[in-house]
A = this chain, B = another copy of it.
């Protein structure tokens, strides 16, 4: 029988002025600050070809999330009826992986500066992918 669980590891961490989940923007286009990603030295070769101006998707591990939540009030608004977490972008979900489409501002060795990242300081980063042409529009 195929395995049902798998191990992911941090390839880097977010360095951001955002430290408080309650005051953080919910999406990157809602006033999130620029941030640096500090990648582990083992992963430097994997960054080859990531350049300023690139549009990328950062996959993060939302380590403050409640993994047992199956329904939430959208955007934390208790006046709205609860919805299944798979119909929302709530961080609270069985596998709390965040998706953050951002633009690369600078690359300095294992450090990459990006625009408008709503992840909190210290958030583990799992992956970085280029946005495919036509996949994600301007925000």
A93 to B125, CA, bound (A): 13
- Which of chain B's residues have a CB closer than 8 A to the CB of A134? 137-139
- Of B3, B43, B93, B130, which contacts A87 at CB under 8 A? B130
User: Once the chains are docked, how many angstroms separate the CA of A94 from the CA of B9?
Assistant: 8
Interface range, A side: 35 or more
Chain B residues lying within 8 Å of A130, measured Cβ to Cβ, are 87-89
A4 at interface, CB cutoff 8 A: yes
Q: Which A71-106 residues have C-beta < 8 A from chain B?
A: 71, 82-89, 93-95, 97, 99, 101
Does A122 touch B at the CB level, under 8 Å? Answer: yes
User: Is the pair B4, A86 in contact by a Cβ cutoff of 8 Å?
Assistant: no
